[in-house]
Chains A and B, each alone.
Chain A
């Protein structure tokens, strides 16, 4: 099966003279969860913005579901759902209305919408908050709205940036369960997080970024082989990879 996401030699950033990403290439296969790791400022969010089409690469190509943004913006965007690091909600709309907006954007039928809405609100313990405005929600609840909107769409690719920030333990559990379910259903997830212990049990592969460059890529086992520590945790591997790259 062709990859759901493919980056070929992508360089990009806010300024042509000072690119943030350097010749980045990787792919995400269908039914795969890939962890994007890196320190603050490593280029994780910038990579995601380039994939989303919010930023345009200086060079290279990005394919989502075998399409570039230029070829077909609507097909490209219908192929992913995004959970940003900081919740972005409209002050004027309730939780339920955000779900309704997502429904409209992705053209979800009424029956599917009602079933998914009920399930998501229950899973994330948000039934009583459905009628609330963003200013009446805590930060964790806002993050839950973002996650619910993404899972409402059910696209083949999920791009999730730091999803655990502010989530309560039940929210984290619901998110992880749902991620496992969408993987089983054949969807893929590209996710970044600093809570590496959380990623360790769920990701199939990892991509380690440092200063906008890919310094390592592979399964947990492959990363262990790379640093020659067969029993190292993801935390230890990450530390060694970054330290090694910094000293080289």
Chain B
């Protein structure tokens, strides 16, 4: 019964999410995917055929493979209500989780395989450009080891979830990241036989260390929260393209961003601004846009062609703008908005201004490598593109906010 319950829940979840994916595909997901595929494919093919002499391929591949190898979520499809209804069946939870873990291994192994298929030809081209030889067997072993690392990460991450102490869990996660990074680094720089021996020893040490701390027999609350975060991530992604149902969102403190609070004057006109700033600061959204900005900065910096730099800048600027507007869908039905004495129409104006100010800061970061690494006409073009993007975003944020909130009021 427990085993089939997971399958039923997985089926029901995807059945519920499927229409949103369908709408997202009609609402720009397909176009984005095709653009990324064409632009990425073209750039990738050019990279392999005309490998740039100074391309920092080792650093890029190391970063890519480490970042792909570390995350290892297991979809349990557990719900809050399970703390009441499934708790009495804890002794049978292993049979419920069996298909969950098996599906996680398969999903993550495929992801690692795909990353290897993309990264290893570049690695080979880089090694050949330096006059070194590399056999296909070497690449095959590297790919296989990457899949093993990813499966290790799934197992370790699941075990970390059972740890009783949240601080200890953080330490172990950090340790796992370091061990994986070291293993990937060894794979790319040392002879495969040596790297496999040392790396496997590292993973073994980690697994032995993982036996030491106190654990729950099953940490219900942790896995329920993890599942909620997983659902939230999927809907946060879909919200780029379509309106998705509001769900409970994970909250992160992000103390560093609290410093910005002092810039918000505590007057009624700014109450909505403050509210949306907090939604942004504490939600998954801030993490997503910060990551997009960092990825954009790295891509712009890594590319050599000024035209490509400019294209990638605009591409990421549009992505960030689209993502930022998803903050409007947070708490669409604000009870306090109807109860507190707040100025009418302040909501859409404040939400739009908050998004735009953050956008200006992020765009400035995105623009930095363009301005620093180019000269003459390209620099001027970058500056003009930056101003146009920011001006266009101002209009876009305001129109989108008015549309969202007036649709909600209607």
Listed in ascending order, the chain A residues whose CB lies under 8 Å from chain B are 52-54, 73-78, 82, 84, 88, 90-93, 97, 100-108, 110, 113, 133, 135
Contact = CB atoms under 8 A, between A and B. Distances in A.
A53 B335 CA distance: 11
28 contacts: A52-B338, A52-B339, A53-B338, A54-B335, A74-B341, A75-B341, A77-B339, A88-B335, A90-B331, A92-B249, A92-B279, A92-B283, A101-B274, A101-B340, A102-B340, A103-B266, A104-B266, A104-B267, A104-B274, A105-B268, A105-B341, A106-B268, A106-B341, A107-B268, A110-B266, A133-B251, A133-B282, A135-B251
B266 A100 contact: yes
B404 interface: no
Given A74-B343, A90-B275, A90-B278, A104 B268 contact: yes
Contacts of A73: 341, 344
Given A107-B268, A135-B251, A101 B341 contact: no
Interface string B239-250: 000000000110
B42 interface: no
B342 interface: yes
Contacts of A52: 338-339
Contacts of B266: 100, 103-104, 108, 110, 113
Contacts of B344: 73-74
Interface of B: 248-249, 251, 253, 266-268, 270-271, 274-275, 278-279, 281-283, 330-331, 335-336, 338-344
Contacts of B253: 133
A181 to B, nearest CB: 23
Contacts, number: 77
Nearest to B248: A91
Given A53-B339, A73-B341, A77-B341, 9 more contacts: A54-B335, A73-B344, A74-B342, A78-B341, A100-B266, A105-B268, A105-B342, A107-B268, A113-B266
B369 to A, nearest CB: 32
In this complex, which of A77, A103, A104, A110 has the most chain B Cβ atoms within 10 angstroms of its Cβ? Answer: A104
A181 B342 CA distance: 27
B11 to A, nearest CB: 29
Nearest to A149: B336
A190 to B, nearest CB: 14
Contacts of A107: 267-268
In this complex, which of A52, A105, A106 has the most chain B Cβ atoms within 10 angstroms of its Cβ? Answer: A105
Contacts of A104: 266-268, 270-271, 274
B335 A92 contact: no
Given A91-B249, A104-B270, A110-B266, A82 B339 contact: yes
A80 to B, nearest CB: 8
Contacts of B279: 90, 92
A52 B249 CA distance: 28
A82 B341 CA distance: 12
B339 A101 contact: no
Contacts of B281: 92
A101 B274 CA distance: 7
Nearest to B273: A104
A103 B267 CA distance: 8
Nearest to B225: A135
Given A73-B344, A90-B331, A93-B282, A101 B275 contact: yes
Contacts of A101: 271, 274-275, 336, 340
Contacts of A108: 266
A98 B343 CA distance: 18
Contacts of A103: 266
In this complex, which of A91, A103, A133 has the most chain B Cβ atoms within 10 angstroms of its Cβ? Answer: A91
B339 A54 contact: yes
B262 to A, nearest CB: 11
Contact of A97 (B267, B278, B336): B278
Given A74-B343, A104-B266, A107-B267, A92 B278 contact: yes
Contacts of A90: 275, 278-279, 331
A45 B6 CA distance: 40
Nearest to B275: A101
A92 B282 contact: yes
Nearest to A110: B266
Contacts of B335: 54, 84, 88
B268 A54 contact: no
Contacts of A110: 266
B278 A93 contact: yes
A54 B342 CA distance: 14
Contacts of A82: 339
Nearest to A93: B278
A75 B343 CA distance: 10
Contacts of A77: 339-342
Query: Ordered nearest first, which 3 A-B pairs have the shortest CB separation?
Result: A78-B341, A92-B282, A77-B341
Contacts of B343: 74
A77 B343 CA distance: 10
A105 B340 contact: yes
Contacts of B336: 88, 101, 105
Contacts of B249: 91-92
Contacts of A113: 266
Nearest to A92: B282
Contacts of B274: 100-101, 104
A105 B339 CA distance: 10
A236 to B, nearest CB: 35
B289 to A, nearest CB: 15
Contacts of A54: 335, 338-339
B335 to A, nearest CB: 5
A29 B87 CA distance: 52
